[in-house]
Structure 1
Amino acid sequence: MTSARTSATAVRYALAIVALAAVWLAMLLLGGGPVDRSIYEALYAGNHPALVAVARGFTLLGEPTVLIAASVIAAIGLWLAGHRRLPVVVIAVTMLGRGLSEAQKYWIARARPDFESHLVVVKTQSFPSGHANSSMIFYLMLALVLTEGGKCRRPAVAGAIMLSLCIGLSRVMLGVHWPSDVVGGWAFGMLWVLLTLRMAQRFVERDIRR
């Protein structure tokens, strides 16, 4: 029975990896078209000041400086709690994931949408959304790490994903990303977390259970 469960888990894991990679590729190849534009225009919040304020609030939670500072604080908290390996994982997963996101931007060099005014300042290319990518990496990774073996694991993971979804949507609402940029960012962020935490599992296994 244990062997069967292990095999089933491995299959689900492999399917999740393939599915996320396929979503990322689809967003890369199909983004910027009529469907992307229609969704972008439907979500743009430029004529609704209240929605713009909400979107800016969520965008703030995905800012690189905020997430980097939060990852450092989380790492320090884990260190003070007696963990010695988890802080390394938190910093490495967050920073490397952010770096890969920026590398994709320069490599792919997709232009940002310019049909409407950008409601926040942006300086880099469009695909993938760094806010969607980095927020998915940090919040999902933190939820998984902090709730290992706990009863609140599923609610924590669901909450982390929902927060990242709101952050990503805020980028379209503010007119600075195509919807495909955001979906691609979510897909890569989740893919990165699944890959890195799986690889780091043995490294941190004893540390998590201390």
Structure 2
Amino acid sequence: MKLANKKSSTSFIFLGTGAVVAILSVWVFFELGDTILADERFRFDTLVNGWVDQWTTPAVLQWMTILTEFGSVLWLTIVTIAVAIWLYLKNESVTAIVFFGLACASGGLLNSLLKQVFQRERPIILETVDGTGYSFPSGHAMGACIIYGLSAYVIQRQMKNTVSKVVLIVCTILLVTIVGLSRIFLDVHYPTDILAGFSAGLVWVLTALSIMEWRRSVRRRRQLLSSYS
């Protein structure tokens, strides 16, 4: 009984923390969006682009061309399918697997919708690295945040070792950050596009995780009640 209460308390703490982070992310996104709709410039873009220019070399650009593919639609689709198969092999419920797939796929639809709403033009068009269409928010940044974030969550649920969980989370954050930076180095996105992509993606991830945690909490309570009935 104490263990069940502890797990329930942990779920509520997770949901509460997630709600705070989600609210902050929504605020950041709409602050950026409001400025873009007003057709104003960002000092943040100028500062970050200035820093990026100092580190830009042919070798760095070659690496960024490779690393940016980790945020491409094709690669993220492969990751989603691979994780879904892994969940099936781990005997996860069909409902959980379907929800994971829908959460990943619908994030892409949300990004397309947001691009149509804000219609911000890119710094340059570069088809070789998927640098086409509207710029805000970054599809690579948002997609990487959603797919890798949700994948890391469902994978770490199966891990027993705390150190392994921490390593997975840190690697996930680094990978998502690198994908975002690659878009700035390749000059196909403004830094604020990336920041908006991360913000929108984080909100989407936290919403999906909150639903997952809520479902797990309800299922645990039902199991607990049935064991005492």
Does the alignment reach a TM-score above 0.5?
A: yes
Task: Give 1:120 shift.
Answer: 3.3
- Sequence identity percentage: 24
Q: 1: CA distance between counterparts of 2:86 and 2:175?
A: 22
Q: 2: CA distance between counterparts of 1:89 and 1:44?
A: 41
Q: 2: CA distance between counterparts of 1:24 and 1:186?
A: 9
Q: 1: CA distance between counterparts of 2:85 and 2:48?
A: 41
2:110 partner amino acid: L
Which segment drifts farther, 183-192 or 26-35?
Answer: 26-35
1:171 is aligned to 2:183: yes
1:88 is aligned to 2:93: no
Task: Give 1:24 shift.
Answer: 1.3
Match of 2:166 in 1: 154
Match of 1:187 in 2: 199
* Matching residue within 96, 102, 112 for 2:112: 102
Q: 1: CA distance between counterparts of 2:11 and 2:213?
A: 15
- Indicate the SS of the match to 1:13: helix
Structure 1 segments unaligned to the other structure (5+ residues)? none
TM-score, normalised relative to structure 1: 0.85
* Matching residue within 20, 38, 47 for 1:15: 20
Contact 2:18–2:210 (CA under 8 A) maintained in structure 1: no
2:28 partner amino acid: V
Match of 2:122 in 1: 112
Which segment drifts farther, 2-11 or 120-129?
Answer: 2-11
1:161 partner amino acid: I
* Matching residue within 137, 141, 144 for 2:150: 141
Deviations 1:97-139 (A, max 9, x none): 111011101111011124xx84734221000000000001111
Task: Give 1:47 shift.
Answer: 5.5
* Matching residue within 68, 74, 98 for 1:59: 68
Which segment drifts farther, 4-13 or 104-113?
Answer: 4-13
Structure 2 segments unaligned to the other structure (5+ residues)? 221-229
Contact 2:180–2:194 (CA under 8 A) maintained in structure 1: yes
1:192 partner amino acid: W
1:136 partner amino acid: C
Indicate the structure (1 or 2) with the bigger Cα radius of gyration: 2
